Chains A and B, each alone.
Chain A
Amino acid sequence: MVFTIEDLEILALTLKVALTSTVLILPVGIAVAWGLARWRGPGKGALETLVSLPLVLPPTAVGLLLLLLLERSSAMGRLLAALGVDVLFTWRAVVLATAVMSFPLLVRSVRTSFEEIDPRLIDIARTLGRGPLFVFARVVLPLSWRGVLAGTVLAFARALGEFGATIIVAGNIPGRTQTLALAIFQRSEMGKDRAALHLVLFTVLLAFAGIWITERVMRRRQRSRS
C-alpha cells in the first residue's frame, strides 16, 4: 500500500486541527469540570445541560447552529468580517467544530475524576491556609491527572473523527479543511474506495493508539486506587 503526498497532507491537517482544538479546550474544560464538580448553587443544571448538548445533539444540528451563528449575514459574522477574519470554511472552522463537539467528553471525564477526590483533602489544605489555586495545582490535579489525561485523549480522538458539524461549517476543501473523516467520505462518494481505504488505515492506527493510551492510563488508575 502506497500513501500519496495528499494522504499525508490530510493526516497532517487532521492532527494539526485535533491538536489545536484539544489544547484550546483543555484549560476551559478543566475549569468547567471543576465548577460542575464543586458548585452546588443555582445554574448548575443549566450549565450541565449546555455542556452536554453537543454530545446528544446530532453533529449536523450543532454544525448548522454554528453556521447560522457565524455566517456572513449574522451579527457575529459581520463582526468577524470587520476584523478581517475568515472563520467559516477555513481550518479555523474545523477547529471550532471539533472543539465544540469534543468539549463534553473532556468535561465529563475530568469532572468524574474531580468528584472522586475526597473533599476533606481539599478542605484540610484550605484550612491550612492555602489559596484555591495552590490547592487546585498541588492537591486536586495530582489526585486526578489520570482522569484529565484520559479525558484529553478522548477529546482528541473525538476531534480526529469529527464529521457532521465540520462538513457544515468548514465544507470539504482539500488542503484546507479536508480532514481524514471528510476525505474518506468524499473518496467513497466518488467510488474511490481503495484511496479511501488508505485513509481508513490511518484512522485505525490512530484509534488503536488512542485506545491503548487510555486503557493503560485507566488501568494504572484502578491499580493505584486499590
Chain B
Amino acid sequence: MLALALLGATAVGAAEHPSEILVFAAVSTREAMEEIAKQFQRGTGQTVRFSFGSSSTLARQILAGAPADLFLSADLDRVEQLARAGLVRPSDRRDLLSNQLVVVVPAASAVAIKGAPDLVRLDRIAVADPESVPAGIYARKWLESAGAWTKLKGKLIPALDVRAALAVVEAGSADAAVVYRTDAAISKRVRVAYQVPLAEAPRITYPLARIAGSKQPAAQQLFRFLTGEQARAVFTRFGFIVL
C-alpha cells in the first residue's frame, strides 16, 4: 500500500513548483524575510515560499530530505550539522545576522527586571525549548553563566520556537519570556523589561546557507539578494544586527 500511495502521489504531482524557491528560515526572521521576498519577487518575478519554524526542526527536516533551497538558521550548529552531512558546501554559506536576547513581560505588567537574578522572583517564564531550539539554547547559556539557571529550571515553560514563547506572554499565560529583541519589536502586547547586554550572552549568529542538491537555479540569485544592500536595510529596520 505504501508503494502504491507513493506511486500514485508521484504520478499526480509530476511537475510541481517549477519556479518557486523554498526557503526554510528561523521563525524570528519571519516579517523581515517576507518583506525581503516581496521586494525580490517584484524585481525578479520569482516566487519565494517559506517554511518558518525553529531552526532545529527545520534542520532536522532538511537532513531527512526536505526539498529546501535556502536555509536561514538562528545558530551556527544547525548549519554545521548540515555541512557535516554534506548538505551545505563551505562556499555556499555566509553569516548574515546577529540578534540580542531580551526579557519581555505583558505590556500591562509592572515587573522591573535588572538582570537574570530578578527572574527568580517570577513564577512562570516562557522560553523556546532550551534543549534544542536556538533561542532557548542562547537563553539557557545566558542564565547558566549568570548563575540563575538551576533556580529557574522548575519555572520554565518550554515552547516549540521563540514566537510560541512570545505568544505565551502575549496571552498572559507567563510572567515573562526570554526572546530576541526583534520578536519583542513586532508585538504590541509585550514590553521589553530587560535587554541582556551583548557581552553577557552567547554570541548569536544567523548563517544563511544554500542547500546542496537544490534544483532551483534562482536560489543562488535569492542568496545574493539576501546578502545585498536592499535586504540589509530591511533586516536593520526590523532590529537585526547585520554582519
Q: Please report A residues at the B interface, Cβ cutoff 8 Å.
A: 20-21, 23-25, 28, 67, 69-72, 77, 80-81, 85-92, 95-96, 99-100, 103, 171-176, 189-191
* Most B C-beta atoms less than 10 A away, residue of A86, A91, A103, A172: A86
Nearest Cβ on chain B to A8's Cβ, whole angstroms: 17
CB-based contact B22/A20 at 8 Å: no
Q: In the complex, A91→B4 CA distance in Å? A: 15
Minimum CB distance partner of B167 in chain A: A191
Could you show 5 A-B contacts with beta carbons less than 8 Å apart? A20-B9, A87-B65, A96-B9, A171-B57, A174-B51
Q: Is B217 an interface residue (CB 8 A)?
A: no
Q: Which of B12-68 contact A (CB under 8 A)?
A: 12-13, 16-17, 22, 49-51, 53, 57, 61, 63-68
Nearest Cβ on chain B to A95's Cβ, whole angstroms: 5
Q: Is B166 an interface residue (CB 8 A)?
A: yes
CB-based contact A90/B5 at 8 Å: no
Interface 1/0s, chain B 50-94, versus A by CB < 8 A?
110100010001011111100000000000000000000000000
CB-based contact A89/B66 at 8 Å: yes
CB-based contact B1/A99 at 8 Å: yes
**With a CB–CB cut-off of 8 A, which chain A residues contact B13?**
90-92
CB-based contact A89/B64 at 8 Å: yes
Q: Given A189-B160, A190-B164: A20 and B6 within 8 A (CB)? A: no
Minimum CB distance partner of A176 in chain B: B49
Q: Is B2 an interface residue (CB 8 A)?
A: yes
CB-based contact A176/B64 at 8 Å: no
Q: In the complex, A81→B65 CA distance in Å? A: 9
Q: In the complex, A189→B164 CA distance in Å? A: 5
Given contacts A70-B65, A171-B57, 9 further A-B contacts (CB under 8 A): A23-B8, A24-B5, A71-B64, A87-B6, A89-B67, A90-B13, A99-B1, A173-B51, A191-B168
Contact for A96 among B2, B16, B166, CB less than 8 A = B2
Q: Given A87-B6, A191-B166: A72 and B51 within 8 A (CB)? A: no
Minimum CB distance partner of A98 in chain B: B5
Closest 10 CB pairs of A and B: A191-B167, A89-B66, A92-B9, A71-B64, A72-B65, A173-B51, A88-B65, A189-B164, A99-B5, A24-B8
Q: Please report B residues at the A interface, Cβ cutoff 8 Å.
A: 1-2, 4-6, 8-10, 12-13, 16-17, 22, 49-51, 53, 57, 61, 63-68, 159-161, 163-164, 166-168, 170-171
Minimum CB distance partner of A175 in chain B: B49
Q: In the complex, A81→B171 CA distance in Å? A: 44
Contact for B167 among A67, A103, A172, A190, CB less than 8 A = A190
* Most A C-beta atoms less than 10 A away, residue of B53, B57, B61, B170: B61
* Most B C-beta atoms less than 10 A away, residue of A21, A67, A77, A90: A90
Minimum CB distance partner of B8 in chain A: A24
The main secondary structure of chain A at its interface with chain B is helix
**With a CB–CB cut-off of 8 A, which chain B residues contact A175?**
49
Q: In the complex, A184→B68 CA distance in Å? A: 23
Q: In the complex, A28→B8 CA distance in Å? A: 13
Q: In the complex, A24→B5 CA distance in Å? A: 6
Nearest Cβ on chain A to B229's Cβ, whole angstroms: 28
CB-based contact A176/B171 at 8 Å: no
Q: Given A90-B67, A91-B13, A191-B171: A28 and B1 within 8 A (CB)? A: yes
CB-based contact A103/B164 at 8 Å: no
**With a CB–CB cut-off of 8 A, which chain A residues contact B8?**
20, 23-24, 95
**With a CB–CB cut-off of 8 A, which chain A residues contact B17?**
176
Q: Given A189-B160, A189-B163: A88 and B66 within 8 A (CB)? A: yes
Q: In the complex, A81→B215 CA distance in Å? A: 12
Q: In the complex, A20→B65 CA distance in Å? A: 23
CB-based contact A103/B1 at 8 Å: yes
Minimum CB distance partner of B62 in chain A: A89
**With a CB–CB cut-off of 8 A, which chain B residues contact A88?**
61, 64-66
Nearest Cβ on chain B to A22's Cβ, whole angstroms: 11
Q: In the complex, A86→B163 CA distance in Å? A: 29
Q: In the complex, A77→B50 CA distance in Å? A: 24
**With a CB–CB cut-off of 8 A, which chain B residues contact A189?**
159-161, 163-164, 167
CB-based contact A77/B65 at 8 Å: yes
CB-based contact A96/B5 at 8 Å: yes
Nearest Cβ on chain B to A173's Cβ, whole angstroms: 4
